[in-house]
Amino acid sequence: MIELPPGLILIVGAFLLPFFHGNVRNIYMLLLPIFGIWGLLTVSNGVYFPFEIFGYNLSPVRIDRLSLLFGYIFHIAAIISLIYAFHLKDTVQQMAGLIYAGAAIGGAFAGDLITLFIYWEITAIASVFLIWSSRTEASFKAGMRYLIIQVGSGVLLLAGAIIHFHKTGSIAFDKMNLSGLGPILIFVAFGIKAAFPLLHNWLVDAYPEATVTGTVFLSAFTTKLAIYALARGFPGTEMLIWIGATMTAFPIFYAVIENNLRRVLTYSLNNQLGFMVVGIGIGTELSINGTAAHAFSHILYKAVLFMSMGAVLYRTGTIKGSELGGLYKTMPYTTGFCIVGAASASAFPLFSGFISKSLIVTAAAVEGHWFVWGVLLFASASVFYHSGIKIPYFAFFQHDSGKRPQEAPKNMLAAMGIAAFLCIAIGVYPYWLYDILPYNVDYKPYTTTHVVTQLQLLFFSALAFGWLMRTGLYPPELKSTNLDFDWSYRVFIPKILNIVANSIKIINASLESVIHKILAFVNANLSKHHGRSGILARTSSLGGSVTMIISVLAVLIIIFYFET
């Protein structure tokens, strides 16, 4: 049985946070997700707390293997992110983080589209505070753009859900076919949150602007909730294979030339989402398993990477590749954890990425999508290139920047340690993860072919990096701004809008004076009849009232008399 909807304990608990202080608060925060995951360990599959409102049958909690897997990893991510944020004294960020995590968990268990929509919007609103908490002009603007896009995605979801309901009579959140307006709107809503190509700009726009700790939260929940939603709603939709393949390939180029290392990680995050989307698109048991497993391990290693970069930012105040280097001398643990995360991201054998990503790549091969398979291989190689080598190399090694920051705070190290440990643990003993996947797995990651192929891929990629660095062909990390698709709506559209706005202003001014005149006229007339001494509000004499009543009667009777 289950006493509370999962995730709710975090949301409700967040509101009690201001009553605790210091270490008690830290322990209290940590207890919430621990209780939450404890509750998940004992539940059985099924739908809980169903009720009906306005004729919609809602099922706020639906538990099955797919939702449970995401439930587990969201809880683990919440625990890690919370430990990482222990040193904060910022109540707003802590509450936002808890509510955000709770809403993402709740969303993963939503059994109907309305509940999903509610949690969908809570994640959007709660998470924007993690961006705004940087308290810079840039973060405010980025947060605003982020909020508009996220809430917009929620609105699309709601619109789609209502249309879907009226067409099918069911509001349940199950597999849908991509036909008709309803499912298409829902699909686009999911696509925005999952950062599909050309819908992805909010991701690279907002995540690097969030606080050191906020980015860790952000990297875990929003996009993965969208992945879950896609896996639940649109498995086997072929279009997703091509969308996913594009997603794996095109952020790479941005990642290679980007100087802000947190932004590099965000591009890499986008690229990893591509793998998961491909897995959903293929839609076989193996590939859905791959998507779920990859989401699981991805959350962990991306957290390690964001945490280590966060620690660097926290200690040095900058995250530009061109200003860093040589930090391994004073931040050895952070360096070590970062390398573990990088190795997992690059899918080194014995690390978590290897055992999850290979499920998807194999699924593509099994289904005969050879072109996609090739793209995935190319993308895998390049992940190693920008996540695996570039991040640790530019931050911790490279030429010595002369910076000698302290090692990261203990709570950060602990959080990174836990996440890094899990990365290795899953990589070494994958069956622990395989056992909780949505479908039963009969897959052996450690075959000679797999390992050798992967190692070849990695070594050639490393070779390319080495060669480019040696020959000086590697694009130097310059302080530059890279134009992405979002230039169109951040610069171009505003310019056009400005011109339009100016012309509207002129028309408006003339219209306004006309309307003012009309309003004044209406108001004068309204108050003449409806005002306090107007005819409609006056208490006329008794005789007058009775006369009126009699005349109403007379009119009625005359009408009735002559009508029949």
Residue numbers of the site for other proteins (CB under 8 A)? 53-54, 526-527, 530-532, 534, 536-537, 539-540, 542, 545-546, 548-549, 552-553, 556-557, 559-561, 563-564
Neighbours of 467 (CB within 10 A): 11
Nearer to other proteins, 493 or 537 (CB): 537
Minimal distance in Å, beta carbon 527 to other proteins? 6
Minimal distance in Å, beta carbon 528 to other proteins? 11
Minimal distance in Å, beta carbon 187 to other proteins? 27
Q: How far apart are CA 300 and CA 30, in angstroms?
A: 18
Q: How far apart are CA 67 and CA 95, in angstroms?
A: 24
Query: Which residue type is seen at 392?
Result: P
Nearer to other proteins, 175 or 529 (CB): 529
Minimal distance in Å, beta carbon 533 to other proteins? 9
Contact 254, 205 (CB under 8 A): no
Minimal distance in Å, beta carbon 119 to other proteins? 18
What is the separation, in whole angstroms, between the first and last Cα of the chain?
69
Minimal distance in Å, beta carbon 541 to other proteins? 9
Tokens at 242, concatenated? 């091509």
Neighbours of 343 (CB within 10 A): 27
Alpha carbon 32 to its chain's center: 21
Contact 102, 9 (CB under 8 A): yes
Q: Classify burial at 172, counting beta carbons within 10 Å of its beta carbon; exposed 0-12, middle 13-18, buried 19 or more.
A: middle
Contact 327, 336 (CB under 8 A): no
Nearer to other proteins, 41 or 542 (CB): 542
Radius of gyration (Cα) for the chain, nearest Å? 29
Minimal distance in Å, beta carbon 105 to other proteins? 25
Non-local (6+) Cβ contacts of 175 within 8 A are: 232, 233, 234, 235
Minimal distance in Å, beta carbon 560 to other proteins? 4
Nearer to other proteins, 332 or 534 (CB): 534
Nearer to other proteins, 509 or 562 (CB): 562
Q: How far apart are CA 197 and CA 248, in angstroms?
A: 10
CA distances to 37, 172, 436, 439 from 56, rounded to whole Å, are: 30, 9, 32, 31
Minimal distance in Å, beta carbon 305 to other proteins? 44
Minimal distance in Å, beta carbon 564 to other proteins? 6
Which residues in 272-290 are b (16+ Cβ under 10 Å) and which e? bbbbbbbbbbbbbebbbbb
Nearer to other proteins, 45 or 540 (CB): 540
Q: How far apart are CA 267 and CA 305, in angstroms?
A: 13
Minimal distance in Å, beta carbon 379 to other proteins? 46
Minimal distance in Å, beta carbon 15 to other proteins? 19
Q: What angle do CA 137, 140, 143 make, to 5 degrees?
A: 150
Nearer to other proteins, 180 or 531 (CB): 531
Nearer to other proteins, 399 or 532 (CB): 532
- Nearest one of 26, 175, 158, 1 to 91, comparing CA atoms: 26
Contact 286, 366 (CB under 8 A): yes
Nearer to other proteins, 239 or 553 (CB): 553
Query: Which residue type is seen at 83?
Result: I
Sign of torsion over alpha carbons 443, 445, 446, 451: positive
SS3 332: helix
- Nearest one of 364, 216, 198 to 279, comparing CA atoms: 364
Nearer to other proteins, 463 or 548 (CB): 548
What is the four-CA torsion angle of 363, 367, 373, 376, rounded to 10 degrees?
A: -40
Nearer to other proteins, 143 or 154 (CB): 154
Nearer to other proteins, 53 or 509 (CB): 53
